[in-house]
Structure 1
Amino acid sequence: MTQILPAAAPARLRVVHLVDDGNWGGVTRGMKFLGRDADLAASAQHSVVTVSRSALSAPALEADVIVSHLAISWRALPFLTALRARYAHLPMAHVEHSYCEGFVAGNVLHRLRFQTLLRSAFAMFDRICSVSAAQGEWLVARGLVGRERLQVLRSCGGVADFLDLPLAEGAPRAFGAIGRFDRQKGFDLLIEAFRRVAVPGATLTLVGDGPERGRLEALAAGDPRIGFAGYSASPATMMRRFDAVVMPSRWEAYGLVALEAMAAGRDLLVSGVDGLADHVGRGARLCRGREAEDWAAALTDLAAQDPAQACARRLAGRAAVVGAEAEFRAGYDRLVRDLSAAPELARAV
């Protein structure tokens, strides 16, 4: 008698994510979400390996697919070359979390040299993932990657805790700015602007830390409405304190805080640069100028909005991002599926 055995469950693909920064930022939070999400775990085993930015040789990895979240630099090229050589048989993708049009405009003097760096690094990967549509269009427009090798993969650290928060009520009075205290975030401009705001009861709290903390505290000195708070282990709990979140970034590849503010039902005011344009398309308010007086006017207008209109905008913003987790899962499922199914096609340049 022939015994029919049940079909063996297909082995889960092993996806190894390489990171070089363990700070509590968007990359780290996205990796934590990947590691704990049950739906993603059903099709692939996602693990994270931290590598040193000074490493020259590739580590031993047990992987079917490798995904890089590493910072691209001239110093990193030898490591990337070693990684590609050691795992020439495996499909590899790179998620570009940092570089965008605003970064280049504000920081890069020798732009042709910089573009050569990115092209050289990107050529080692089968797929390049941008973290916003705006960043992806810039990469294609500058000839840094072909559209056929590009995938938009918006970051997500999980929005369930933010969706559970009650909506902010009334016209906003408690403004928050969340992120690393670095020139990139434009918090110096925000403090200068807020000092010009004459809205009764308005407060501004800056959440984070970083190299500009001393300078920001000096800029805020003498205004009791402006305060500082350190990072919170529960970002949703911190978000509960605010009616509105302000992001005056000088460059921003995506802006995870923007997604979370909208999920939390908070007003969101952004500069609109780079990936923040994606959030404007979902309902964030845009500050149309870059000077302190422009931000002061935008903050004043936001504080003066009709409460009923404010509620409607917050509900619309939450509805626009309620599917962020599903989009994130689907993006990684597609990435892994495409690369593992036909790596030789994905690798074609």
Structure 2
Amino acid sequence: MIHAIAHLIDDASFGGINRMLEYMEASPDLAKIADHRIVRVRRGQLTAPPLGADLIVSHLSVNWANLPMLTALRAAYPTTPIIHVEHSYSERFVALHVEKRDRFTALLRTAYALFDEVVAVSETQGAWMLRRGFCPEGGLKVIEPCVELAPFLAVEGHREGPDIVIGAIGRFDLQKGFDILIDAFQVLERTDVELHLYGDGPDLNDLKARAKNNPKIVFKGYTSDVPEAMAACDAIALPSRWEPYGLVAIEAMAADRPVLCPRHDGLVGHIAAGARDIGENSVTGWAAAIERLHVEELREPNAKTRTHAAEAGERFAKAWGSLVGRVLSKEDKEAGAA
């Protein structure tokens, strides 16, 4: 029997969550587990949508404004298992943005108590959630996100030439830390390195002003062909201020491009898989790390990281299969006992 799973999402952007859900909808391996349907809801709405599903998976924002919706969802489907995937919060996020820690803890504990299971998107995030007591250990599982990686795995070869091109890809906002990278290039002593920024977002004008027309800092604009963008780079930088997981890292590994990132939040797991620890996520930290780069080393094929990325889809499907099977079998047993 193929079960129906409704994935609830209130994020309208073309970001990692939506790309992951589209992958889940289309993946033949995940289709063996269940029929995955994306259900879009308005952020902050007060009523639960009509759902005909055996299992509900929330990818919704957890905040005080959305708590009535989450509560309504639980009330509307009291016997249907509901899983929540935490895409947004991490230890670094709280350190940088949360002043009232007790209130934040109360929010997460209240919201997570509405769900049968909570999914963290990285081991580091999951360990932090357990350490802070946001949810019980038995009610949390770690599943690293995945998207369609075949176009990245199809990237062949590396750039030629004596110069180094470092790519930075993503939304131009505070989280992604591209301002840190730009400032590092402004103090860089070597002249054979370029920074290519791919993306768009609310901080575009501020980032361009910060770049001060430096010819070594190139704004390439938004691209829908991320594999092609990565093929034009020697390495991919992730200067994120906080990052529960970091999909760009696994995409870069699939394209056989070295990943440069700091050691915090979900990026710790990417470093364990072969990404390069740049040290402190600061202007001086990035400048020092870039000064140490060697073009020949960056272009050396890395079978280990590419294999790790190639197996991400299998790990993802296996983890979801295990979780869905466990939750629904538990539900069947409880129904039988009743």
Q: What TM-score do you get using the length of structure 2 for normalisation?
A: 0.94
Among candidates 22, 34, 51, match of residue 24 of structure 2: 34
- The match for 1:339 is 327
Partner of 2:11: 21
What amino acid is aligned across from residue 128 of structure 2 in structure 1? Answer: W
CA RMSD of superposed structures (Å): 1.7
Which of 47, 59, 63 pairs up with 1:57? 47
Work out whether residues 172 and 244 of structure 1, in 8 Å CA contact, stay in contact via their aligned partners in 2.
no
Equivalence map 1:238-253=2 (5 Å) = 238-253=229-244
In 2: Cα distance, 1:206 partner to 1:310 partner = 18
| 2:268 equivalent to 1:280 | no
The correspondence for 2:33, drawn from 31, 43, 46, is 43
Indicate how the Cα distance of structure 1 residues 276 and 167 shifts in structure 2: closer, same or farther if over 3 A, else same: farther
Paired amino acid for 1:283: G
Specify the SS of the correspondent of 2:315. Answer: helix
Which residue of structure 1 aligns with residue 121 of structure 2? 131
Counterpart Cα distance in 1 of 2:192 and 2:300: 23
Aligned counterpart in structure 1 of residue 223 of structure 2, from 232, 236, 255: 232
Task: Judge conservation of contact 2:25–2:36 (CA < 8 Å) in 1.
Answer: yes
Q: Secondary structure at the match of 2:21?
A: helix
- 1:317 & 1:197 partners in 2: Cα distance? 28
Deviations 1:174-205 (A, max 9, x none): 11111111111111110000122233432111
Highest relative contact order (Cα 8 Å, sep 6+), 1 or 2? Answer: 1
Question: 4+ residue stretches of structure 1 with deviation over 4 A?
Answer: 169-172
Q: Which of 54, 66, 69 is 1:76 aligned to?
A: 66
Matched, 1:320 2:308: yes
AA aligned opposite 1:236: P
The aligned amino acid for 1:199 is R
Displacement of 1:341 after TM fit?
Answer: 0.7
**For residue 240 of structure 2, what is the amino acid of its counterpart?**
S
Corresponding pairs, count: 333
2: CA distance, partners of 1:172 / 1:222: 19
Match of 2:83 in 1: 93
- Say which is worse superposed, 270-279 or 194-203, in terms of deviation: 194-203
Greater Cα shift, 326-335 or 66-75? 326-335
* TM norm structure 1: 0.91
Residue 206 of structure 1 and its aligned partner are, at CA, apart by 1.2
The 5 A counterparts of 1:153-192 are: 153-169=143-159, 173-192=164-183
**Is the Cα contact below 8 Å between 1:205 and 1:228 reproduced in 2?**
yes
| In 1: Cα distance, 2:241 partner to 2:44 partner | 28
Shift of 1:318: 1.0
Q: Distance in 2 between matches of 1:172 and 1:339?
A: 52
Change (3 A) 1:317 1:169: farther
Deviation at 1:329, TM superposition (A): 0.9
Separation (CA, whole Å) in 1 of partners of 2:228 and 2:159: 16
Q: What is residue 329 of structure 1 aligned with on the other side? A: 317
Counterpart of 1:268, as a letter, is V
Q: SS of the residue aligned with 1:206? A: strand
Tell me the alpha carbon deviations over residues 260-310 of structure 1, each in whole angstroms, 9 at most, x when there is no partner: 0111111110012100001000010111123212111101212x26x2x44
Conserved? CA contact 2:235–2:298, under 8 Å: no
Mind listing any 5+ residue stretches in structure 2 that lack a counterpart? none
Matched, 1:145 2:130: no
Shift in alpha-carbon separation, 1:56–1:193, aligned structure 2, 3 A: same
For residue 54 of structure 1, give the secondary structure of its aligned residue in structure 2. coil
Q: SS at 2:37's partner residue? A: strand
